[in-house]
Amino acid sequence: MGSVTPIKRKGSGIPPTTGAHIDSISYALLVETLIGFLELRISEGDQGHHCNELERLTQKLENLAKRFTPPKGAA
């Protein structure tokens, strides 16, 4: 198993000096999860009780996916 680059939250200190790495299986899982959240948000529409939370979580997942795009790491 390869090394792991920690993910830092905003304002939590100095970010890692190396680029973020993710293996292809984890990247696929991340993208599938993001797509699932996007589909759920769309299906909830304006009727959903948790739209703001879904929107917030979807945005966090999207930001995380962008960090790993294109995926670099063990195949």
How many separate domains does the chain show? Answer: 1
Q: What is the pLDDT of residues 13-27, one digit of tens each?
A: 555 556 667 888 888
Report the length, in residues, of the chain. 75
29 in any annotated domain: yes
49 in any annotated domain: yes
Instruction: Identify whether the C-beta of residue 62 lies closer than 8 Å to the C-beta of residue 34.
Output: yes
50 in any annotated domain: yes
Instruction: Identify whether the C-beta of residue 19 lies closer than 8 Å to the C-beta of residue 71.
Output: no
pTM over 0.85: no
Q: What is the pLDDT of residues 24-57, one digit of tens each?
A: 888 888 889 888 888 887 887 767 666 788 888 8
At residue 62, φ and ψ (nearest 5 deg) are -65, -45
Q: What's the domain range around 38? A: 24-67
9 in any annotated domain: no
Distance CA 72, CA 60 (A): 20
